[in-house]
Amino acid sequence: MRFNEKELVSLSRQPSEMAAELGMRGPKKGDVLKKRLVKLVVNFLFYFRTDEEEPIGALLLEQCRVEREDSLTFTITERKYQFECDSEEQCGEWIDSIIKASYEFMRRNLIFYRTEIHKLTGKDPLEQYGISDETRFQVSNSLPLKARETSSL
């Protein structure tokens, strides 16, 4: 996937699925926990200094893992970013939302529900949109990903 800085800044200004100030520790050895505004927009996790409007970084949430460290902390293990939440519930919500933000998660759900509708009606629900069986969202017996405490995206 290709993108440039202007596209990322523009995307970071879009409405977010989740946003909160979280403690964040970067992947470098010796990084300290800092308060950051963290926003989940589509399948990007943007992080900002709390007093700035432009992001200082973004994580593409594809082919990485989300792991719960303890009741308040989770990590994204692409390069081991650690996030600390204010509550156990908030931590669970972030993990669940990040897992569901993955393109692969959405693709598998589309395949699953397309297959279920096809079984019930005998019709392919995407044909009306000009999407044929030859496309990559083939009707199959795939199951959707389930949100877990530790999950691969």
Exposed, middle or buried by CB within 10 Å (0-12, 13-18, 19+), for 47? buried
As a whole number of angstroms, the distance between CA 127 and CA 114 comes to: 11
**pLDDT by residue (tens digit) across 39-97?**
999 899 999 999 999 999 999 888 788 999 999 999 998 778 999 999 999 999 999 99
Cβ proximity of 116 and 123 under 8 Å? no
**pLDDT by residue (tens digit) across 12-21?**
999 999 999 9
- pLDDT at residue 139 tops 50: no
- Residue tagged 């970067």 (tokens): 26
As a whole number of angstroms, the distance between CA 86 and CA 73 comes to: 9
Hey, what CATH topology would domain 5-101 get?
PH-domain like (2.30.29)
Using 50, 70 and 90 to split pLDDT, how confident is the model at 134? low
Pinpoint the residues of the chain covered by CATH 2.30.29.30: 5-101
As a whole number of angstroms, the distance between CA 141 and CA 55 comes to: 40
